[in-house]
Structure 1
Amino acid sequence: MRKLSYIIILTTLSLAACKNAKKEEPVMESETVETETSMTKELSVTLNPKSDSNVSGTVTFTEENGIVSMHAMITGLEPGVHAIHLHESSDCSSPDGKSTGGHWNPTNQPHGKWDAETGYHKGDIGNFTADENGNGMVMFSTDEWCIGCEDDTKNIIGKGIIVHAGTDDFTTQPTGDAGGRVSCAGIIE
């Protein structure tokens, strides 16, 4: 009888152990994949003549992956080198373009060549050359601008684009001695 009790106890324990044992189920591993969605913003503005010039054109700004690229096509220029800058205001209402104010300089730096150790305005784009037909093109990219972001030191919305009659010397303060303003566009959405 003792042997039978021992067998019953072992059987009961075995059944209880089987009942409490977790069933092994296949493990489904899930992997979280983060994809960076690239949101592209694009804005085109029209350059209009100022200071009795015939200078006009189109400027397109494209922001992708934290980089803003500017592509300008300009016509009606005198052949040679001209400066182009971003200015404080998008107001192009004055005949001479001066309603845009000075160069856009949210970080209070001296005027200079972009990426110069001595400093530069965020609006100091630089010079470009117009061909013998008066046509010019500017391509410029930076991570120091944005289109409509919250950072006032980067946001180009509400600024003006000015094409100058002359060349930026990159040293004369605060304008670069670039001459009159011959074309203007407001960067507005």
Structure 2
Amino acid sequence: MARIVTLAAFAVAATASMAFAQDKQTAVANFVGENGKENGRATLTAAASGGVLIELEVSGLPSNRWVGFHVHDVGKCDPATHHESAGKHFNPTEAEHGILTAKGPHAGDMPNQFVDQHGVLRAQVFNSMVTLDGKEDGVRGRALMIHANSDDYRSQPAGDAGARLACGVIE
């Protein structure tokens, strides 16, 4: 009987340890629109070789257009400030903005995403410049942002991507 209890206790401890390890390897961000209502979710998964896979679905966006998608520095999504509360793009290395600039991109830069005819953005984006841990390149506690216009990949400091339509804190 004691042996069964020991094995059961070991199984519970192992399960808890695996859940903790998985929690460190994943994160979520619940998007909030300009109206303050939740309108989507992203799941972030740390890749074994580095970087983070971001899978997202966000609705209530302007249809049939490309929109900017970035990591912002501050984990605050206040619709009363038009999501300006999320601060600037996440840029721990102080690189220039833009995938097409000679001194860029910075860690918050990601490719534009397409919103379908129903106003829904569904995407899988891999960002090799960030992690989920607490290091300098860690994004947990920061924000994901969807902008109204496409990023031109050149303009400083934010690609001329326009208004901030949806924001999600990475938890």
Residue aligned with 2:94, SS:
coil
Aligned to 2:85: 99
Aligned to 1:44: 28
Residue aligned with 1:99, SS:
helix
Distance in 2 of aligned mates of 1:105 and 1:67: 15
- Of 60, 83, 105 in structure 1, the residue corresponding to residue 68 of structure 2 is 83
Aligned letter for 2:159?
A: G
Check whether the contact 1:48–1:57 (CA below 8 A) recurs between aligned residues.
Answer: yes
Aligned to 1:180: 163
Distance in 2 of aligned mates of 1:181 and 1:172: 16
Report the CA distance shift for 1:163/1:142 in structure 2 as closer, same or farther (over 3 A).
closer
Distance in 1 of aligned mates of 2:37 and 2:110: 22
CA-CA distance at 1:43 after TM superposition: 1.2
Aligned to 2:122: 137
TM-score by length of 1: 0.71
Check whether the contact 1:71–1:139 (CA below 8 A) recurs between aligned residues.
Answer: yes
Q: Cα deviations across residues 74-107 of structure 1 (Å, max 9, x unaligned)?
A: 1111111111111010011242000011111110
Q: Which has the higher contact order (CA 8 A, sep 6+)?
A: 2
TM-score by length of 2: 0.78
Q: Which has the larger radius of gyration?
A: 1
Residue aligned with 2:41, SS:
strand
Matched, 1:59 2:45: no
Aligned to 2:12: none
Unaligned runs of 5+ in 2: 1-20
Unaligned runs of 5+ in 1: 1-38
Q: How many residues end up aligned between the 2 structures? A: 147
